[in-house]
Structure 1
Amino acid sequence: LVSQGYWRDDDGDGQGVGGVTASGSISVAFTDKNGTTVNRSDALSLCSAPYKVTLTSTGGTLSTQYGVPRSSSFSGATVDYYINPNSSQPVICSVRPDLLFGGTRGIDDFWEDPGYAGPSNIWNPSKGFLTQSTSPSSYDRNFPTT
């Protein structure tokens, strides 16, 4: 943060080269409701919300060239925040057909065959088919046809 100029020194004793030094680090991590890592560049979806934002800092020290006190130490910490994307439109996240042959154990184990289940990116054993597109021009990407 110091090298990028994201700091402020109210009394001015930290101005100039070497005027402020800092140790420690901060990091951020994003995961969806399923615990899957989300990149900062990924679009957020209501279907994967809420998203957990974890901010982590290590302990460190802030020091100025002059001043009283000349340095101040701080402890590390981790804090979690939860966010939801804003949407003015309803969203369909999945469509659930009869799940007898879709790999959901416990309905009827005799007829159960998880081999009918699709890949995990389009099929969830407890929810059914996952939405692939919400755009009318590519609705054909949704839900297998026979």
Structure 2
Amino acid sequence: MAGDRPAVAGLLLYLLIAATPTLVFWVSLRVLPALVARVAERRRSRHQPTATPLESTVADLRRLRREVRSREQRTHVRRTAVLAAYDDALLDVCRQVEVDAPLATAVGHDRVYARLITEAALEDAGIALDPPPGARRPDTGGQQ
């Protein structure tokens, strides 16, 4: 009977050595990807930018619209930059109010027409691009 213990210990050691690669492989296929996904999701949710309020985005849109319409830009580069910023602001507001924006897919000379359609869609959604003359402007404190 005294010789049975080393045989049992040897058998347990053999099972441990035989089962370890299988267990390691199973853990690497099942548990590790779930753990990595959970850590990545936490990191993503921590670094997500907060959305700007609609009022702020609309105020920027109106300011850029006034600049585009004023045509006081002295250089072609400035005109192009202001128009590109206005288009980006239009698309941001469309995303926030969930309005279809044809401007997002327009290229070349079609952008002018798509910009008009996008502006009309925003007006239909209730966003006044040109507020009434007596409306209070946040950047001037109500004084005009």
- TM-score where L is the length of structure 1: 0.19
The structure whose residues are more often strand, as a share, is 1
The structure whose residues are more often helix, as a share, is 2
Point out the structure with max Rg over C-alpha.
Answer: 2
